[in-house]
Amino acid sequence: MEMTASLRTQSDVDMPHEQERPLRSLFGEILLAYLCWAVGFIIFVHWLLLTCLSRRYRKRCDFGTLLQFILPLLALAIFAGGGAWCRSSSNGVPNYRTCPGGETMSNECLFNVQSTKYQAIYTMHYIGLACMVIQFILDGVQIWGWVMQIRQIDDDNHSSNTVYSQKRSCFMILWSPYTVTAAYPITILFITFWVTLTWAVFYKDWSTDIGGSLTSLAWRVIVAGLGALSGGLLFLHHGRIGRCSTRA
């Protein structure tokens, strides 16, 4: 009896320390993920970290995490390639045509002066940039939850209030039942679509040489992005297709 009591007492003493270790490890992994996110804007190295963590704790690699690492690289290639072409020449003739108003670029100059090919590549150039920026911001909002999901942290006090407390078989996005594999790229492209329409179609008074017009354009782009995100959230939380499976 005395030995049993002694072992129980020692177990009670050791238990808090055993509980603190995974908690410290979790905070460390979240911090490391955010450091990778902050310094890896161009190449999105935090997705490589998430892939490694998934491999470590879940004994398998998630295709969705690797896909989210590849897609920003594709967007970067479109952004860099488009910018390089717009500043280069074809057959000795500059691809860029001087704007008659003296500005570097404006909506009127882009769609009334530049060639159709220049318009398409210039637009794709900024579509690539928009995709990178939008994913960078959305990733930053969700990284902590993805790390917790990988570790399968189940907080009994919040298990009925948060989807991250459930043990899922795949990564979820924006606190919805949808996976990053397909729904996340679609969400990013949906927001990018409306952002692009804002500066290319809806607001035509912007010019790179007029600071006030760029400020006004920036606010319109932010509002369009938030509006598209809200629409995406409504679909993600009320849709019925492609939901992530739940493991018992």
pLDDT of residue 60: 57
Locate 169 and state its tokens.
């078989």
What pLDDT was estimated at residue 182? Answer: 80
CA distance 187 to 179: 11
- For the stretch 56-88, pLDDT in tens is 776 555 677 778 888 899 999 999 999 999 999
Query: What's the pTM value of the predicted model, to 2 decimals?
Result: 0.79
200 pLDDT higher than 90: yes
- pLDDT higher than threshold 80 for residue 35: yes
Q: How confident is the model at residue 190 (pLDDT cuts 50, 70, 90)?
A: very high
pLDDT band for position 229 (cuts 50, 70, 90):
very high
Query: How far is 47 from 41, CA to CA, in rounded Å?
Result: 11
What does the pLDDT read at residue 245?
47
What is the pLDDT averaged over residues 188-201?
96
How far apart are alpha carbons 219 and 215 in whole angstroms?
Answer: 6
Banded model confidence at residue 219, pLDDT cuts 50, 70, 90: very high
Amino acid at 149: Q
CA dihedral 62, 64, 68, 73 (to 10 degrees): 80
- CB–CB of 49/32 below 8 Å? yes
Half-sphere exposure of 223 (CA within 13 A, CB side): 10
What is the average pLDDT across 186-192?
94
CA angle at residue 136 from 134 to 138, to 5 degrees? 70
pLDDT of residue 238: 77
Query: What amino acid occupies position 71?
Result: L
Give how far Cα 115 sits from Cα of 110, 153, 203, Å: 8, 55, 20
Nearest Cα neighbor of 43 from 69, 21, 61 is 69
- pLDDT class of 239 with cuts at 50, 70, 90: low
Q: What is the pLDDT of residues 125-184, one digit of tens each?
A: 999 999 999 999 999 999 988 888 877 644 433 444 444 444 444 577 887 878 777 889
